[in-house]
Chain A
Amino acid sequence: MTTQRTGAVSAHNAKVMNRFELTKRVVGQLKREEAVIGGIGNANFDLWASGQRPQNFYMLGSMGLAVPIAFGVAIAQPQRHVIALEGDGSLLMQLGCLATVAMQAPKNLTIVVWDNGVYQITGGQPTASSSTADIVGIAHACGIANSAWAADEEDFERLVAQALKEGPSLIAARIDDKPGVATTDRDPVRIRATFMQGLGVKRTL
């Protein structure tokens, strides 16, 4: 598998895209009942809006835990690919998880980071990635070799297809400041139960 370094596309020359459009492109590539974890806020709102697959889990709290939750699913079901959709602010809260993922190297895990440079849902305050922190650089330094900025929509699709073959991978996309296009039903028990059913897990193991 090729390893793309930050040199090819950087945060500065990556195209600014739209989260909902890219979410649809991720889901559109899923043909094997892959699991998707939508991080708190607009990441899961747009996942919800893209169509409510039973293999989707929508986070209503626990900011920063999309990657750890996805990693846990990946450990439990090594035959299933798992994708975490996480915002830049949320990931910055729990950067250590990238080091853990790199050390354990799950082959069935993909991390997608939506980087709009703001804590959008709390009023648009700037995140560190808006100026100084580089998400892909951080992922590389943590040891996730397959980490790259998506240059544009076609490049994003290519990176997703590549990531689904073998992980762990991180794909970062610069996105605009448009809000999520729908709101997830706030029913954590139903979300969890539907997700477990979608993964073929019985209620009590």
Chain B
Amino acid sequence: MNDTKTKAAAWHEIVLTTLKNNKVKLVTYVPDRVFTPLIKALHADSFFTTFPCTREEEAVGIVTGAWMGGLRGAVLMQTSGFGTIPNALASLVVPCQIPALIFVSERGTLGEFNLGQAMVCKTMRPVLSSIGVENHTITRIDELAFIVDRSIKQAVATQAPVAFILSPLLTGGKVFEAQR
């Protein structure tokens, strides 16, 4: 990103702004290192109600209840956390037609150092596809706002969940610290 005039927005700033523009006020999460700047910015912005949950399916349950009560919500998690939510998606979110917005910080590819993350990563897209959940892998910052904005609008209009998989190509990912 060059900064000839104004500094270009970072990926996490674009996500936050797009959530705000779409009146997504509730964000539940299980922490992730790569998502830390987004999580900090959400906490710092009084527009958002945001807090950590003990487990990803709990976070999904909360945004499901919030949607039914008239409040839009998003869930943040990392790839391994995705492995805990197929039952919540398949037996609650999908059959009840809940437009849950799921942001996954992608681990397990492009330089992963943890085999556990790499294996869960292989299950993620097949699970989403098998239960018919729209999902986008986002690699480019110039496409980020478009994909997230349009997909939130589609999710709400069609009453269907959507998953955004934020690639290390977009976020930088997590590197193997021991190699430094």
Contacts and interface: CB of A to CB of B under 8 A. Distances in A.
Nearest to B157: A204
Nearest to B71: A76
Contact of A61 (B67, B71, B72, B92): B92
Interface stretch (A43-51, A121-129, A177-185, A194-202): A194-202
B68 A57 contact: yes
Contact of A62 (B23, B70, B87, B157): B87
Contact of A188 (B53, B58, B95): B95
Contacts of A203: 159
A72 B63 contact: yes
B38 interface: no
Interface residues of B, number: 37
A103 B63 CA distance: 17
Interface residues of A, number: 43
B55 A69 contact: no
Contacts of B54: 96-97, 99-100
A14 interface: no
A125 B130 CA distance: 32
Contacts, number: 131
A163 interface: no
Nearest to A201: B70
Given A188-B96, A192-B97, A96 B58 contact: yes
B61 A69 contact: yes
A63 B64 CA distance: 14
Contacts of B68: 57, 69, 72-73, 76, 192, 195-196, 199, 201
Interface in B78-108: 87-88, 90-92, 95-98
A161 B88 CA distance: 32
A65 B26 CA distance: 18
